[in-house]
Structure 1
Amino acid sequence: MHADTQPRPTGGHDHGALLDEDRAGAAATVFRLLADPTRLSLVWFLRDGERSVNELASLVERPAPAVSQHLAKLRLARLVRTRREGTTVWYRLRTDHVGHLVVDALSHAEHAEEPA
């Protein structure tokens, strides 16, 4: 058998033999979305709970219309969900997973800056 078709050890987690293309593509889409500093910051601030567009715009120091566009991309990718209350739209993370991913990525970036 070809080496790429063999199951690989998963460090105690049984996630199946190989990562299929659909899951890999979905994960790559998440990484592409989070490659933008503004969207990364938005997810960072949404880890603590629900926030409005204006509150997020203030936190990331960007205009509200630009923040709304970033949030729309995150919503279409099913990373955040919304709730409308009157004229205010509230955003929150769909799950904790993406928040953990951002924390891990920022931690990795911090450690990667340390001398070897």
Structure 2
Amino acid sequence: MIDRDFDASAEVLRAIAHPVRLQILCAIKDEPHAVSEIEEMTGIAQPGLSQQLAILRKADLVSTRRDGKKIYYRVDSDQMLGASDLLDALAGSTDQRRRDRQTARKHSGGGAATFARILGRSGN
């Protein structure tokens, strides 16, 4: 059996598996940002933002640095940086699948109408 800390891995996955936390991680993946900047970038208001950042800190996905009154957050895990690339790729493929479905619907002429036409033809 692989020697891993499955509880720690599950905690990281739980932290990542929330849309708001994913949004925060994407906002700070390239460079550190102050809480006020993260709030502006994401539109997530206080105190919800602080609550989500605390969860990310507890999962060791981000670290902080204080500069005067400002606290800067940055992604603090090589693991998370790799996961971020994967998430970007998945988001892109999800967007592409969504566009493909929309295109297919436009060209199908409507699912119910198509189904009714098929039933009408097979009954003859």
Counting helix residues as a fraction of each chain, which structure ranks higher? 2
The 5-angstrom pairing of residues 77-88 of structure 1 reads: 77-88=59-70
Gapped regions of structure 2 (runs ≥ 5): 101-124
Cα shift at 1:109: 4.2
Cα shift at 1:106: 3.5
TM score, norm. by length of structure 1: 0.72
Q: How many residues are paired up? A: 97
Percent identical pairs in the alignment equals: 31
Q: CA RMSD in A?
A: 1.8
Alpha-carbon distance between aligned partners in 1 of 2:29 and 2:20, rounded to the nearest angstrom = 15
Alpha-carbon distance between aligned partners in 2 of 1:41 and 1:19, rounded to the nearest angstrom = 32
TM score, norm. by length of structure 2: 0.68
Alpha-carbon distance between aligned partners in 1 of 2:33 and 2:43, rounded to the nearest angstrom = 15
The one-letter code of the counterpart of 1:105 is L
Alpha-carbon distance between aligned partners in 2 of 1:50 and 1:84, rounded to the nearest angstrom = 11
The 5-angstrom pairing of residues 3-18 of structure 1 reads: 18=1
Contact 2:60–2:77 (CA<8 Å) still a contact in 1? no
Please name the residue that 2:53 is paired with: 71
